[in-house]
Amino acid sequence: DTGVSQDPRHKITKRGQNVTFRCDPISEHNRLYWYRQTLGQGPEFLTYFQNEAQLEKSRLLSDRFSAERPKGSFSTLEIQRTEQGDSAMYLCASSLAGSSGETQYFGPGTRLLVL
Amino acid sequence: AQSVTQLDSQVPVFEEAPVELRCNYSSSVSVYLFWYVQYPNQGLQLLLKYLSGSTLVKGINGFEAEFNKSQTSFHLRKPSVHISDTAEYFCAVSTSGYSTLTFGKGTMLLVSP
């Protein structure tokens, strides 16, 4: 079990550029979540997938954000036309659906800085 | 909708002293409660969780938490802290049928020698 991995770990970009992050969940987990964490705050939910289906999106997820999980394994989160307010840590988590209070296992995060 | 309040943004404590990190939640339905720890520049690691049953939950690294339904609280405790416990601690809640976690703003535990 290699845990949840995220790539890249750090990304610096200029305002207006597009960025894409990747998350590889624990292999047998069928649920995958994206959260955003800004300085001094707890993680905030963005979206989640069960297998390849995107089941819920937060109001935080503007039209510039899109997430995919094409084969029910890894997921990508793309931010188009980045803004300085997008600077944050983007966390991915995975879990196994079907158990009460299922535990979400988090990756190390991708820290985005928009200049 | 549910919410979580962590009453202290920072808790300074000396090594080997006891500590309590406070967490209160709000929800109109039954909840599952979690404590996660985040070390600098890392993701979140689960310390412990309450699903049902015994209200005293034991977790990793000597931490425990007590669920109090009447006070809607889930405070985290450790009888004797170490320097290595210095980290940010997050309380989170989910509900039956809705697995998404709602987090508090976190409490920074600062352990000094």
User: Is A42 within 8 Å of B4 when comparing Cβ atoms?
Assistant: yes
CA angle A73, A76, A81 (to 5 degrees): 170
DSSP A70: T
Q: State percent of chain B over pLDDT 90.
A: 79
Instruction: Give the residue from chain A lying closest to B32, CA to CA.
Output: A101
Contact present, B17 and B81 (Cβ < 8 Å):
yes
Interchain contact A17–B (C-beta under 8 A) = no
Q: Which residues of chain A have pLDDT under 50?
A: none
CA angle B52, B35, A5 (to 5 degrees): 115
Q: Which residues of A touch B45 (CB under 8 A)?
A: 106
* Strand A110-114 versus strand A10-13 pairing type: parallel
Interchain contact A49–B (C-beta under 8 A) = no
Q: Best mutation site among A44, A104, A105, A113 for testing chain B: the one with the most B CBs within 10 Å?
A: A104
Average pLDDT over residues B104-108: 97
Interface of A with B in 58-87 (CB under 8 A): none
Q: Is the pLDDT of residue B20 over 80?
A: yes
Average pLDDT score, chain B: 93
DSSP A9: S
Q: How much is the pLDDT for A100?
A: 65
Nearest-CA distance B50 → chain A (Å): 8
Instruction: Give the residue from chain B lying closest to A37, CA to CA.
Output: B105
Q: Best mutation site among B46, B95, B99 for testing chain A: the one with the most A CBs within 10 Å?
A: B99
In the structure, what pLDDT confidence band is assigned to residue B99 with cuts at 50, 70 and 90?
confident
Cα–Cα distance measured from residue A95 to residue A30, given in angstroms and rounded to the nearest whole number: 7
Q: Is the pLDDT of residue B75 over 90?
A: yes
Q: How much is the pLDDT for A59?
A: 87
Q: Is the pLDDT of residue B42 over 90?
A: no
Q: Is the pLDDT of residue B92 over 60?
A: yes
Tokens of A15: 């305002």
Q: How much is the pLDDT for A99?
A: 65
Q: How much is the pLDDT for B107?
A: 97
Average pLDDT over residues B47-70: 93
Q: SS3 for chain B, per residue? A: CCEEECCCCEEEEECCCCEEECCEEECCCCEEEEEEEECCCCCEEEEEEECCCCCEEECHHHCEEEEECCCCEEEEEECCCCHHHCEEEEEEEEECCEEEEEECCCEEEEEEC
Chain B positions contacting chain A at CB under 8 Å are: 4, 6, 9, 32, 34, 36, 41-46, 49, 51-52, 90, 92, 94, 96, 99-106
Q: How much is the pLDDT for B13?
A: 97
Look-up of token digits 């790539």: A7
